[in-house]
């Protein structure tokens, strides 16, 4: 009798433990699919607590690096006649009226010494720019440079020890991944909204015909006027994009917002810091999406890639051996699925950089080593007036009159100083360059040739506009 009771108790305990284990397992594993079949099949996934959408760390660590940008611009308006008599009898008017217009947007601090990224359309036409930190400190800002093609601009304030948002990797963003947008919509400072990555590589209709590079990250995080130039941040608190646009018929958020990927922003920002302009790589092709006819004619197994309709003579693609009729499917490790993906991939390179371009030709996969060429903004470009582009500035062989003024036999004059390494190093317009890294120079080409051979730094000696001996240097 006792033995039977003991066996019954042990059986009950074993059954309870089994039931507990099953319930505990089902609690840890989410049931995602339960097909209604004769033999039920389940697909389960384990989600740790780190994968749930908790944005407290990302929000608190990034919000101090997002700033409010106030922009003042001047507009000229023609004053209308004050009465019908003024209109018909031509009584004198006070003339055009100057009026100030104030706008706002957002920006992101990317370096502790005051470099801030925002949108070009936020500061376009500005006569005065002010930046207010999350701590309510306000600074005047100078415009370092802009790139309308990507809608990116770079500002600088005179401050140190500022909070920053570290760069992430926008290529690693996944569809459905959580992100947060930080900015100042409708002057509501430091507003944080959340959403998911809805799509990647988006482009929008271009009705103006301007050159654009668009491969936006699309999210459903709420973005409104004033968010432009603000941060798109992943759950780890890394900057993955700069919020730029919304798609709406009303001008307010309607479920879609777009951000410039940080991998593009980073390259643009560093170019503007170093050169004052963007050193844009050029592949030298015209392309079209793969449609059904192209796929059928070329017997393609998929619609991935882009069709190369034309190759520029002596361009980077042409010199590498790429031909019209090829289908471009990859640039280095980046798979190409659209024309915007090509633009995004190429925009990360600088002139002179190398990449492996993969194409399909006559059913075969072929790889080509490409050395990207640049645009007319590169060092050494000769302008109509004979001056030569040099790190965002212009240089020219000093005239005989100028040389006589300073008692010199030869030299190269800085005829125009623009944002870039020369300006940052303290150079001035009218400075006569005599030596570069101890090498005497007589022409702009001499200057460029010496700089090309420099591996680390450039040291320039010459005469200042006041006639004194001067020098400055910068890293290359």
Residues with catalytic roles: 121, 151, 228
Q: Give the per-residue SS3 of the chain.
A: CHHHHHHHHHHHHHHHHHHHHHHHHHHHEEEEECCCCCCCCCEEEECCHHHCCCCHHHHHHHHHHEEEEEEEEEEEECCCCCCHHHHHHCCCCCCCEEEEEEEEEEEEECCCCCEEEEEHHHHCCCCEEEEECCCCCEEECEEEEEECCCCEEEEECCCCCCCCCCECCHHHCCCCCEEEEEECHHHCCCEEEEEEEEEEEECCCCCCCCCCCCCEEEECCCCCCCCCCCEEEECCCCEEEEEEEECCCCCCCCCCEEEEEHHHHHHHHHHHHHHCCCCCCECCEEEEECCHHHHHHCCCCCCCCEEEEEECCCCHHHHHCCCCCCEEEEECCEECCCHHHHHHHHCCCCCCCEEEEEEEECCEEEEEEEECECCCCCCCCECCCCCEEECCEEEEECCHHHHHHHCCCCCEEEEECCCCHHHHHCCCCCCEEEEECCEECCCHHHHHHHHHHCCCEEEEEEECCCCCEEEEEEEC
Dihedral sign from CA coordinates of 80, 85, 88, 92:
negative
Distance CA(292)–CA(307), nearest Å, equals: 12
CA-atom Rg of the chain in angstroms = 30
């Amino acid at each position: 009798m006792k033995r039977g009771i003991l066996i019954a108790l042990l059986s009950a305990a074993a059954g309870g433990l089994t039931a507990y284990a099953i319930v505990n397992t089902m609690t840890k594993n989410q049931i995602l699919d339960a097909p209604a079949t004769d033999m039920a099949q389940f697909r389960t996934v384990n989600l740790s607590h780190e994968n749930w959408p908790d944005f407290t760390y990302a929000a608190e660590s990034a919000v101090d690096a997002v700033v409010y940008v106030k922009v003042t611009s001047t507009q000229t308006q023609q004053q209308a006649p004050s009465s019908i008599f003024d209109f018909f009898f031509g009584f004198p008017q006070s003339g055009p009226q100057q009026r100030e217009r104030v706008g706002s947007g957002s920006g992101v601090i990317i370096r502790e010494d005051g470099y801030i990224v925002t949108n070009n359309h936020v500061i376009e036409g500005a006569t005065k720019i002010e930046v207010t930190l999350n701590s309510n400190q306000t600074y005047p800002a100078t415009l370092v440079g802009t790139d309308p093609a990507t809608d990116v601009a770079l500002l600088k304030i005179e401050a140190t020890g500022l909070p920053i948002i570290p760069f992430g990797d926008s290529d690693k963003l996944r569809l459905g991944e959580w992100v947060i947008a930080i900015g100042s919509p409708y002057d509501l400072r430091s507003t944080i909204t959340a959403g998911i990555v809805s799509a990647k590589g988006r482009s929008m209709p271009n009705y103006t015909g301007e050159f654009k590079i668009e491969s936006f990250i699309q999210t459903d995080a709420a973005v409104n006027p004033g968010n432009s130039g603000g941060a798109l941040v992943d759950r780890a608190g890394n900057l993955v994009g700069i919020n730029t646009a919304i798609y709406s018929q009303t001008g307010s958020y309607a479920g879609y917002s777009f951000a410039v990927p940080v991998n593009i922003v980073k390259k643009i920002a560093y170019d503007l810091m170093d050169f004052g302009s963007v050193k844009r790589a050029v592949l030298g092709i015209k392309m079209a999406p793969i449609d059904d006819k192209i796929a059928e004619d070329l017997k393609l197994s998929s619609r991935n890639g882009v069709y190369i309709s034309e190759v520029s003579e002596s361009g980077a693609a042409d010199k590498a051996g790429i031909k019209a009729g090829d289908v471009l499917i990859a640039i280095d490790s980046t798979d190409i699925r659209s024309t915007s993906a090509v633009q995004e991939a190429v925009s990360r390179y600088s002139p002179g950089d190398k990449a492996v371009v993969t194409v399909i030709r006559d059913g075969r996969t072929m790889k080509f080593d490409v050395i990207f060429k640049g645009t007319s903004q590169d060092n050494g470009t000769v302008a109509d007036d004979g001056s030569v582009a040099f790190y965002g500035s212009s240089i020219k062989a000093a005239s005989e009159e100028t040389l006589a003024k300073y008692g010199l036999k030869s030299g190269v004059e800085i005829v125009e100083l623009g944002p870039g390494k020369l300006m940052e190093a303290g150079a001035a317009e009218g400075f006569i360059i005599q030596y570069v890294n101890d090498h005497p120079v007589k022409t702009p080409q001499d200057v460029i040739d010496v700089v090309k051979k420099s591996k680390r730094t450039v040291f320039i000696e010459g005469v200042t506009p006041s006639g004194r001996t001067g020098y400055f240097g910068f890293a290359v």
